[in-house]
Amino acid sequence: MSIYDFTVRKSNGVRWPLYELEGKPLVIINTASKCTFTPQFADLQRLYEQFRNHVEFIGFPCNQFGEQEPGSNQEAESFCQINYGVTFPIFSKIEVNGEHAHPLFDYLKKAAPFRGFDETNVNEKLLKMMITEKSPEWLLGSSIKWNFTKFLIDKNGEVVARFEPTDEMDLLRQAIESQLNN
C-alpha cells in the first residue's frame, strides 16, 4: 500500500486520486487558519516555490484542534491564498484523528509514528502542555498532536518522515533535498 491508493476531495468537493501525483515527492500537511502555527504557511509557501518543479505540497484543513478551522472549505482555501499567498493546493476539511479520521491520515500515522515529545525543547514542552489542557486524548499513541504536522512522501508513495508543528522548517527542507538527491 502507498498513498497512491487513496482518494481525497478538493476544496470544491470533487474526488481526486492521489496517484495523479505519482513520481514526485510530496509534502502533506494538516492545516488551520486560526492556529498559533498558522504563520508556517509563509515558510511552507517559500519551500513550495523553491521545490515546486520537483515536489508537490498539499494541505488539509482540520478543525479538530481547538476548533481553529471553523469556516467552510472555500473559506479555508481563501484564507491561505489571501493572507499567506499560498499557491499549493488546499483540499477539503478532514478529520485526522479519531473514528472519523480520513483513511489517508490513519495510513500516515501508522507509517510514521509519533516520536515522542522532547521536553528539553521549550516549544515541544509548551505544545505538550497545550495538548494536555485542550485535547489530552491526542497525547496517546501516534495521533496527530496538533495542526501543521507534516509528512514527507517519496516519489514511490512511501512515507519517509513526519515533522511535528514544533520542528524547524529547515529540517523539512533538508529532508526534501535528500529525497531529490536519491
Catalytically annotated residues:
35
Rounded to whole angstroms, the Cα distance separating 99 from 81 reads 31
Residue 5 backbone phi and psi in degrees, to 5:
-85, -5
Closest CA to 55 of 30, 26, 91, 90: 26
Rounded to whole angstroms, the Cα distance separating 15 from 119 reads 40
Rounded to whole angstroms, the Cα distance separating 44 from 25 reads 15
Dihedral of alpha carbons 29, 159, 145, 125, sign: negative
Q: Give buried/exposed letters for 152-172 (b at 16+ CB in 10 A, else e).
A: bbbbebebbbbbbbbbeeeeb
